[in-house]
């Protein structure tokens, strides 16, 4: 049996802990899994009742016996500790190419700006690295994903939240269909860009390589906004395969 659980099991494990590591004082949203009843070495299984979602640090501690089975069962039913987000993105690069719904923005501080709000933006730290800011709008009055200078501030109440331990991806989906996904792809050379974006003339654009790409997709069905991964649709307007460099804004609406 493959040790990686099926997707539906991973979703159930993330949901039951409130999308954050349930160990008191943690709340890290970058989750992996741990088999404890029985442990994987005792019997290979993917039974959610005997598994728990934990951050990588606490999963390693659990593998080493730091928590009893009773403690882990208690973590599975007490999600209050997961409500305070305690994590940060560690992807910091000197150069970035933002790909927003099939459109390419090189060294652009604000790749997505909608109706007066910087939805996805990058600021520079003291060492000149781009660091991530997210202020996700919602079709409802409910809160969405918020990240300030790489630090998690809020995730709202997602129906699904995916944050693998390698920390290069966050994907949030809410019950009404609102969703956002931000993924970092490191060190793409010219051939790598061509392979990843075969429909775009990336070889004709002045893109320095190797470069880290950040792919941004978002869907707000009630607002008729949908961009990603290969096309931007705002109302009845569709845009793809455009390139801009060294501008303040990428996708700018309103």
For 30-43, how does the pLDDT look when each residue is reduced to its tens digit (9 = 90+)? 888 999 999 999 99
How many other CB atoms are found less than 10 A from the CB of residue 127?
8
Closest CA to 25 of 58, 63, 49: 58
User: Domain for residue 176, yes or no?
Assistant: yes
Shared domain for 229 and 178, answered yes or no, is yes
> How far apart (Å, rounded) are the C-alpha atoms in residues 217 and 23?
31
Shared domain for 165 and 211, answered yes or no, is yes
Domains in the chain: how many in total?
2
Is-contact 41 3, C-beta < 8 A? no
Residue range(s) defining the domain that contains residue 50: 7-82
Shared domain for 193 and 125, answered yes or no, is yes
For 103-144, how does the pLDDT look when each residue is reduced to its tens digit (9 = 90+)? 999 999 999 999 899 999 999 888 888 989 999 999 888 889
Is-contact 134 145, C-beta < 8 A? yes
Domain end among 40, 60, 82? 82
Domain end among 32, 47, 82? 82
Least confident stretch, 3-12, 33-42, 98-107, 200-209:
3-12
Shared domain for 30 and 141, answered yes or no, is no
Shared domain for 73 and 138, answered yes or no, is no
Residue 112: which residues within 8 A CB-CB, separation 6 or more? Answer: 100, 118, 119, 120, 121, 216, 218, 227, 250, 251
């Amino acid at each position: 049996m493959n040790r990686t659980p099926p997707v539906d099991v991973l979703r159930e494990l993330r949901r039951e802990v409130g999308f954050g590591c349930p160990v008191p004082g943690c709340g890290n949203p970058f989750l992996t899994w741990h088999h404890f009843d029985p442990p994987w070495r005792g019997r290979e299984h993917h039974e959610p009742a005997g598994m728990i979602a934990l951050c990588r640090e606490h999963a390693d501690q659990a593998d080493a016996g730091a928590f009893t089975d009773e403690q882990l069962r208690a973590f599975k039913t007490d999600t209050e500790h997961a409500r305070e987000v305690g994590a940060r993105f560690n992807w910091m690069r000197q150069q970035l190419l933002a790909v927003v719904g099939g459109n390419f923005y090189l060294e652009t501080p604000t790749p997505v700006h909608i109706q007066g709000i910087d939805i996805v933006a990058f600021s520079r730290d003291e060492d000149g690295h781009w660091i991530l800011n997210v202020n996700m709008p919602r079709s409802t009055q409910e809160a969405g994903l918020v990240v300030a200078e790489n630090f998690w501030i809020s995730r709202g109440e997602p129906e699904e939240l995916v944050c693998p331990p390698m920390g290069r991806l966050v994907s949030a989906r809410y019950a009404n269909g609102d969703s956002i996904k931000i993924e970092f792809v490191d060190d793409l050379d010219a051939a790598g860009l061509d392979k990843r974006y075969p429909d775009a003339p990336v070889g004709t654009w002045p893109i320095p390589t190797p470069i880290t790409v950040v792919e941004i997709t978002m869907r707000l069905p009630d607002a008729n906004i949908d961009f990603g991964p290969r096309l931007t649709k705002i109302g009845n307007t569709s845009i793809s395969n455009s390139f801009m460099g060294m501008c303040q804004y990428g996708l700018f609406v309103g």
